[in-house]
């Protein structure tokens, strides 16, 4: 894949539909060549052909199930070895919305492998090359359920909490370098993940659901503006700032060598 007159190549996971397909379209429109990763090879092939014809960029479809160790390793090797890759969009996700006791074991495993292991391993794979040239972009798609839990989202929220903390840790590690790491925290978005999770979109308050196109466009606008954390639907940015300040204050308050007085333990 040529990088001449292009910003390089973006590898997008979960690219066959939803946010991933929109990211693919928007990045192709910006001149990125693409490597599109997803399980559904037929749909992926159609999208790749369409985007290549529409935007005149190089697009390769890479069929891979990130819950399968061999497939994940293949994608990781592509990231580690391909010098054209300048952006990684960790968008692929798995979700089963149900109480823990009612969640199939396979659903738990899929969420752990796709939402946690794949995000960590793919980030790990691409970082050495990014660090070597001091440039590159990683976009990790979390969720507002990264910092909130519903009675049916315990495991999903836990995995997305991992995405949030991994991403924010990478931001601290890479501060002052030319590598950009963005955390995107969407709320309810009109994608297939709801049906696959067992919660039809029709059951949700329609006023709270954002179009996938709007979500990605807002996230990319946030990236352009230098946001480290982008909440596409949050109007008042001070909400996040206060949340983050409270987190820091709580951490500082925990840094003492004696039990809190409310426990009545003499030091």
* Phi-psi sector, 250: left (phi>0), alpha (psi -120 to 50), beta: alpha
Residue 159: CB partners within 8 Å, gap ≥ 6? 111, 112, 115, 116
Task: Give me the catalytic one of 23, 55, 124, 156.
Answer: 156
| Residue 156 is a catalytic residue | yes
For residue 217 the two structure tokens come to 């466009």
DSSP state of 192: T
CA–CA dist 142, 115 (Å, integer)? 9
For 106-154, give the DSSP string.
Answer: HHHHHHIIIIIIHHHHHHHHHHHHHHHHT-EEEEEE--GGGS---TT-H
Active site residues: 156
């Amino acid at each position: 894949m040529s990088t001449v007159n292009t910003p390089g190549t973006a590898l997008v996971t979960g690219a066959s539909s939803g946010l991933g397909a929109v990211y693919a379209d928007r990045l192709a429109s910006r001149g990125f060549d693409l490597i599109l990763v997803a399980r559904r090879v037929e749909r992926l092939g159609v999208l790749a052909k369409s985007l290549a014809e529409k935007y005149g960029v190089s697009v390769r479809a890479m069929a891979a199930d990130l819950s399968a160790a061999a497939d994940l390793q293949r994608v990781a090797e592509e990231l580690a070895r391909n010098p054209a890759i300048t952006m990684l969009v960790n968008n692929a996700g798995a979700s089963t919305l149900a109480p823990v006791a009612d969640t199939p074991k396979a659903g738990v495993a899929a969420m752990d492998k796709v939402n946690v292991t794949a995000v960590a391993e793919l980030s790990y794979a691409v970082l050495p090359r990014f660090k070597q040239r001091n440039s590159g972009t990683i976009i990790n798609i979390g969720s507002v359920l990264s910092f909130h839990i519903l009675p049916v989202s315990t495991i999903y929220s836990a995995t997305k909490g991992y995405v949030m903390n991994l991403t924010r840790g990478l931001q601290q590690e890479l501060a002052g370098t030319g590598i950009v790491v963005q955390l995107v925290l969407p709320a309810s978005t009109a994608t297939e993940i709801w049906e696959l999770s067992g919660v039809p979109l029709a059951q949700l308050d329609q006023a709270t659901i954002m179009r996938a196109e709007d979500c990605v466009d807002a996230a990319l606008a946030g990236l352009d503006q230098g946001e480290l954390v982008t909440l596409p639907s949050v109007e008042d940015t001070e909400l996040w700032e206060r949340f983050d300040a409270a987190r820091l204050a709580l951490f500082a308050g925990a840094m003492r060598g004696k039990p809190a007085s409310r426990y009545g333990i003499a030091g």
